Amino acid sequence: MASIKQEIYLPRRLLAAIHTHLEAAYPDEGAGFLLGRTAPRRVVTAILPLPNAREESARHNRYLIHPQDYLQAELEAEARGLTLLGVFHSHPDHPNRPSEYDRQWAQPFFSYLITSVRQGHAAGSRSWRLQEDRSAFVEETLVFLDK
């Protein structure tokens, strides 16, 4: 069965803001939420950067978002007439593809924008969505908007 091509649209200014947040978190993982619309296409219109709530000894290769942060993001999205589309996070000095740990904790609807941060500088971002059966991620095409 062929999979449907998945795309996510992201303004370059928001990608720059994501990179700034994730570079500031280096050498730890940084994270935040992607807010936007799903129709007629999946478009990120806002981000909510968050501190990494993981214990300090594990922040270099894990991030944690508290349940109250999820709730606050849902409320913020609703107040703006938007949808919580997903999560962005960094992989310090590692590739921008999901780990097995990422797969275990992911949700199928969400987009997961992962940025490789090498020696403190963003080195590329890719976006992924977990398949409904939770077996694997499928890369979604990042389409950059000039806004």
Number of C-beta neighbours around residue 31 at 10 A: 24
The model's pLDDT over 56-110, given as tens digits with 9 standing for 90+, comes to 888 888 888 899 999 999 999 999 999 999 999 999 999 999 999 999 999 999 9
Helix (H, G, I), strand (E, B) or coil at 37: strand
Given 7, 29, 55, 140, which residue is catalytic? 29
Confirm if 95 and 38 have CB atoms less than 8 A apart.
Answer: no
Q: pLDDT value at position 54?
A: 86
pTM confidence score: 0.93
CATH of domain 7-145: 3.40.140.10
The model's pLDDT over 6-33, given as tens digits with 9 standing for 90+, comes to 999 999 999 999 999 999 999 999 999 9
29 is catalytic: yes
Sign of the torsion formed by the C-alpha atoms of 24, 90, 30 and 40: positive
Number of C-beta neighbours around residue 99 at 10 A: 15
DSSP β-bridge partners for residue 129: 111, 138
Domain boundaries, the chain: 7-145
